[in-house]
Amino acid sequence: MICLGIETSCDETSVSVIRDGREVLSNIISTQIEIHKQYGGVVPEIASRKHLSNIAYVVEEALNVANITFDDIDYIGVTYGPGLVGALLVGVAYAKSLAYAINKPIVPTHHIEGHIAANYLTYNELKPPFMALVVSGGHSHLIYVKDYTEFEIIGKTRDDAVGEAFDKVARVLGLPYPGGPEVSRLAEKGEFTYKLPKTKFDNYDFSFSGIKTAVINIAHKEGEKLRREDMACSFETTVCEELTDNCFLAMKALNINKVALAGGVSANRLLRKMIQEKADELGYTAYMPDLKYCTDNAAMIASAAHYNFISGKYYDIKDKLDLNAKANLRIGE
Positions in the binding site for ligand KG4 (CB under 6 A): 10, 136-138, 163, 166-167, 178-181, 184, 263-265, 267-268, 295-296
**Could you tell me which of 51, 20, 76, 31 has the C-alpha nearest to residue 295?**
31
**CB 222: neighbour CB atoms within 10 A?**
13
**Could you tell me which of 101, 119, 27 has the C-alpha nearest to residue 318?**
101
Q: What is the dihedral of CA 48, 53, 59, 65, to 10 degrees?
A: -120
Q: Judged by CB, which is closer to Zn ion: 113, or 296?
A: 296
Give yes or no for a cis peptide into 181 (omega within 30° of 0). Answer: no
**From the list Zn ion, ligand KG4, none, partner contacted by residue 73 (C-beta under 5 to 8 A by kind):** none
* Stretch near Zn ion under the rule CB under 5 A, chosen from 21-29, 88-96, 133-141, 209-217: 133-141
What angle separates helix 162-172 from helix 209-222, to the nearest 10 degrees?
Answer: 10
Say how far apart CA 101 and CA 73 lie, in whole Å: 12
**Interactions with Zn ion, residue window 135-154 (CB under 5 A):** 136
**From the list ligand KG4, Zn ion, none, partner contacted by residue 108 (C-beta under 5 to 8 A by kind):** none
Site string for Zn ion, 294-313 (x = CB under 5 A): --x-----------------
What is the closest distance, in whole angstroms, from the C-beta atom of residue 129 to ligand KG4 in the complex? 23
Give the three-class secondary structure for 118. Answer: helix
CA of residue 98 relative to chain centroid, distance: 25
- The reply to whether 7 sits near Zn ion by the rule CB under 5 A is no
Q: Judged by CB, which is closer to ligand KG4: 75, or 83?
A: 83
**Could you tell me which of 160, 89, 121, 147 has the C-alpha nearest to residue 262?**
121
Q: Judged by CB, which is closer to Zn ion: 54, or 234?
A: 54
Say how far apart CA 286 and CA 123 lie, in whole Å: 11
- How many binding residues for Zn ion (CB under 5 A)? 2
Q: Judged by CB, which is closer to Zn ion: 194, or 208?
A: 208
**From the list Zn ion, ligand KG4, none, partner contacted by residue 30 (C-beta under 5 to 8 A by kind):** none
Site string for Zn ion, 217-236 (x = CB under 5 A): --------------------
Q: Are 21 and 299 in contact (CB under 8 A)?
A: no
What is the closest distance, in whole angstroms, from the C-beta atom of residue 302 to Zn ion in the complex? 15
What is the closest distance, in whole angstroms, from the C-beta atom of residue 292 to ligand KG4 in the complex? 12
What region, left, alpha or beta, does residue 274 occupy, with left being phi > 0 and alpha being psi -120 to 50 degrees? alpha
Q: Judged by CB, which is closer to ligand KG4: 244, or 268?
A: 268
Look at strands 258-262 and 130-135 and give their pairing. Answer: parallel
**From the list Zn ion, ligand KG4, none, partner contacted by residue 11 (C-beta under 5 to 8 A by kind):** none
What is the closest distance, in whole angstroms, from the C-beta atom of residue 166 to ligand KG4 in the complex? 4
Residues within the interface to Zn ion (CB under 5 A):
136, 296
